[in-house]
Amino acid sequence: MPRRIVIGIRGVGHRVIDSIWRLGYAARFFTLTLLKSGTSMRRFSLIIRELYFTGVLTMIIILVSGLFVGMVLGLQGYETLQKYGAETAVGTLVALSLVRELGPVVAALLFASRAGSAITAEIGLMKATEQLDAMGMMAVDPIARVVAPRFWAGVISMPLLAAIFSAMGIFGGYLVAVVLIGVDEGSFWSQMQSSVDFRFDIVNGVIKTCFFGVAVTAIAVFEGYDAQPTAEGVSAATTRTVVTSALVILGLDFVLTSFMFRGVG
Amino acid sequence: MTTETLVEIKDLNFSYDKRPILKGVNMTMPHGKVIAIMGGSGCGKTTLLRLIGGAVTPSSGYVKVANQVVHELSRNELFLLRRKMSMLFQFGALFTDLSVFDNVAFQMREHTDLPESVIRDLVLMKLHAVGLRGAHNLMPAELSGGMARRVALARSIALDPMLVMYDEPFAGLDPISLSVIGNLIRRLTDALGMTSIVVTHDVEASLKIVDYVYFISEGVIAAQGTPAEVSESVSPFVHQFVHGEMDGPVPFHYPAETYATDLNLESNFA
Amino acid sequence: MHRTTMDLWVGLFVIAGIGALLILALKVGNLGTYSEAQSYTLIGYFENVGGLKIRAPVKSAGVVVGRVKDIQFSTKTFDAAVTMKIDNRYQFPKDTFASILTSGLLGAQYIGLAAGGDEGMLKSGDKIMKTNSALVLEEMIGRFLFDKASEDGDGGDGGTF
């Protein structure tokens, strides 16, 4: 029996050491990516190309889901608020939930599963088919040429996508509450405007999305670069990207929220 | 210049996770020749190329390319050296997100400030050399295996390197593509005055085009010589390899207990 | 994908994203009607701020004229020092009366400014001399019960609430 306990403890230790090692490796990779970003900044067309793949191609899913999330919020909010005769506050409810939480978080989750997984799969496959090795042999650093542009494109896309998501959601809420149900349009907007603060709600929401953008793309490029160069390895890495990103987004959201909204509103 | 030594390998040892891969390899590769490195699968041929390219560091000994010890170079010096050599990977390793044209133009755009019109002419010349000028608009996914290999060949000679390494250039090709690639390697080496190192286990295709052959077995050089010498060789290993015999110095059976012991026959008789 | 088509789409994407941010800022966040840059500071000392929060509105005659910037406890006077940012467009006389009020029965609390008749105007950093604290529900109920008890006890000389 004690032997089994020792083996168990050893297993725990092994895992802890492994994950710390991996974390350190990831941090080193992240630093290298930042240091080698000069090339992609000088040749911005590299980033534009990746903006197309991470931003434009994710925009469709963001537009559609934003609209539906906003419509559901409008409907549910109206159902609840009208019991208290406060149905004009539905604008406030939709706007605050989207701008503070749902916009950044849901957009980041969608971004991770659409763009993040694509980045991991692409870099992983480039590694599996020796394209990264070939690039290195051509004296071109794969981190500077392949990883950095994708990283920056993701970091730039994320806040824009989240803003589109929130704006689309508020439009969806407006459609349901004002156009379909008939809440007074003037009070819908004025209640929203009097309770949403630019600095504390919108700017904080944008700051959140910037953090999410860095986290998700950093995870995606690292998992791709670190993938086992086989078909199974790449598919496992893609799954890891989505799962890790989702956990990191939700955890980070809690931490950021508790810092941002402490002591106010 | 023509007979000068371009690559010199001295007492090269390399281990991977304490498992020795190369054990005291010595080679000299003169300028302007096509040199083949042959051996069974997993004997360390590809590792040797990676050592020459500076992708891995030897445990002891050294590789000298153009009188520079590769593993002692700084990162920048290594990248400068790598601009003068190139490598053709096993399955081409074309950049799948770039067209054939952009693949060949890749190094020119990364390393030179040539105007786009000059790059266009150069790329078409390189593609013409491998007979694929008409395919410059295709994407790598639209190419056959042999065509992809030829594009990769055009890409590897894009900056007129002094040394090109080929990792299994004949693997998985049909006989026509195979002889096309073989002839291209020979012709381009002669025409561009470069040196080629071909790692392969395809005896027939390579003996036709190379100037010198090294056989590697279990991490050491088992035999070496010109194609003529090799074909005549009485060395049992070379004979087995060249004629593709099933058993010989490279045994058919993985080391094991005697057959009888494994099947518990001896104990029955005892 | 052709290079120019890609550029076009990326351009559209970036414009859409920035447009969405602007909509959020202007239409939803109502930026532009009130800006901190063109404002001055007033300080008021209150015995009890109740549930007043940072960013709560400062209103005069029901119109929002500013926001609460900061609430601190002063160890000198042992009461709450409330810093307010007031829009430069609105100037108040020196004897302005500040009280903490509640919107609706259970709504959020805000500061109401009632202008006095003094000739001189309050300048940035000035202290509002006349303040009225927040009504705290427990105190109200406590006082009501106490009054009620004393009323029943001695025939009602206590003032009605």
Residue type, C159: G
Lowest mean pLDDT among A1-5, A27-31, A143-147, B197-201: A1-5
C135 and C65 part of one domain = yes
Q: Per-domain residue ranges for chain B?
A: 5-233
CA atoms of A33 and A41, how far apart (whole Å): 12
C126 and C85 part of one domain = yes
Longest Cα–Cα distance in chain A: 73
Residue B200 to residues B38, B169, B181, Cα–Cα distance (Å): 5, 7, 13
Model pLDDT, residue A149:
92
In-domain check, residue C56: yes
The answer to whether residue C147 scores a pLDDT higher than 50 is yes
In-domain check, residue C153: no
**C159 vs C73, higher pLDDT:** C73
The model's pLDDT over C9-21, given as tens digits with 9 standing for 90+, comes to 999 999 999 999 8
Q: Taking CB atoms and an 8 Å limit, are C30 and A161 in contact across chains?
A: no
**Mean pLDDT across A192-220:** 89
Question: One digit per residue, pLDDT tens: chain B, 270 residues?
Answer: 445 788 888 888 888 777 888 888 888 888 888 888 887 777 778 888 888 888 888 888 888 888 888 888 888 888 888 888 888 888 888 898 888 999 999 888 888 888 888 999 999 988 888 888 888 888 988 888 888 888 998 898 888 888 888 888 888 788 888 888 888 888 888 888 888 898 888 887 788 888 888 888 777 887 888 888 877 777 777 777 777 777 776 667 777 777 877 787 765 554
% of residues, chain A, pLDDT over 90: 62
In-domain check, residue C150: no
C24 and C102 part of one domain = no
How remote is the C-alpha of C96 from its chain's centroid? 15
The model's pLDDT over A56-108, given as tens digits with 9 standing for 90+, comes to 999 999 999 999 999 999 999 999 988 887 888 888 899 999 998 999 999 99
Those residues whose C-beta lies under 8 Å from the C-beta of residue C104, and which sit 6 or more positions away, are none
Which residues 4-43 on chain A approach chain C with CB closer than 8 angstroms? Answer: none
* Chain C nearest CA to A5, separation (Å): 54
**C54 vs C90, higher pLDDT:** C90
C120 and C57 part of one domain = yes
C14 and C53 part of one domain = no
Model pLDDT, residue C68:
85
How remote is the C-alpha of B181 from its chain's centroid? 13
Residues of A in contact with B143 (CB under 8 A): none
The answer to whether A215 and A252 are in contact (CB under 8 A) is yes
The answer to whether residue C156 scores a pLDDT higher than 50 is no
Total structural domains in chain C? 2
Under DSSP, the state recorded for B138 is S
The answer to whether residue C45 scores a pLDDT higher than 50 is yes
Model pLDDT, residue B1:
41
Q: What is the ipTM of this complex?
A: 0.81
Confirm or reject CATH 3.40.50.10490 for domain B5-233, answering yes or no. no
The answer to whether A235 and A260 are in contact (CB under 8 A) is no
| Torsion angle of the four alpha carbons A139, A142, A144, A146, in this order, in degrees rounded to the nearest 10 | 130
Model pLDDT, residue A168:
95
- Tell me phi and psi for residue B212, to 5 degrees: -150, 145
Q: Is A81 on the interface with B (CB under 8 A)?
A: no
Is chain A touching chain B, with at least 3 CB–CB pairs below 8 Å?
yes
Among B55, B91, B107, whose Cβ lies nearest the Cβ of A138? B107
Model pLDDT, residue A193:
82
Among C21, C31, C54, whose Cβ lies nearest the Cβ of A163? C21
Model pLDDT, residue C153:
63
Lowest mean pLDDT among A159-168, B237-246, C39-48, C151-160: C151-160
**C74 vs A109, higher pLDDT:** A109
Model pLDDT, residue B144:
86
Among A122, A134, A140, whose Cβ lies nearest the Cβ of B93? A134
Model pLDDT, residue C159:
46
Among A134, A139, A145, whose Cβ lies nearest the Cβ of B89? A134
Residue type, B78: L
In-domain check, residue C107: yes
Q: Taking CB atoms and an 8 Å limit, are A137 and B96 in contact across chains?
A: no
Q: Taking CB atoms and an 8 Å limit, are A122 and B79 in contact across chains?
A: no
The answer to whether C51 and C134 are in contact (CB under 8 A) is yes
**Mean pLDDT across A139-160:** 91
Which structural domain, as residue segments, surrounds residue C126?
Answer: 36-141
Model pLDDT, residue B45:
80
Q: Taking CB atoms and an 8 Å limit, are A202 and C12 in contact across chains?
A: no
Q: Is A138 on the interface with B (CB under 8 A)?
A: yes
CA atoms of A141 and A120, how far apart (whole Å): 18
CA atoms of A21 and A87, how far apart (whole Å): 54
Q: Taking CB atoms and an 8 Å limit, are C54 and A51 in contact across chains?
A: no
Burial of C61 (0-12, 13-18, 19+ CB in 10 A): exposed
C28 and C40 part of one domain = no
Label residue A12 by pLDDT band (50, 70, 90). Answer: very high
3-class secondary structure, B159: coil
Which residues 94-113 on chain B approach chain A with CB closer than 8 angstroms? Answer: 94-97, 106-107, 110-111
Q: Is A18 on the interface with B (CB under 8 A)?
A: no
Label residue A192 by pLDDT band (50, 70, 90). Answer: confident
Encoded tokens for C119:
């000739």
Probe site for chain C from A164, A170, A174 (most C CB atoms < 10 A): A164
Instruction: Give all chains having 3 or more CB-to-CB distances under 8 Å with chain A.
Output: B, C
**Mean pLDDT across A147-171:** 94
* Mean pLDDT, chain C, integer: 80
Label residue A115 by pLDDT band (50, 70, 90). Answer: very high
Model pLDDT, residue B224:
83
The answer to whether residue A116 scores a pLDDT higher than 80 is yes
Q: Taking CB atoms and an 8 Å limit, are A129 and B55 in contact across chains?
A: no
Under DSSP, the state recorded for C107 is -
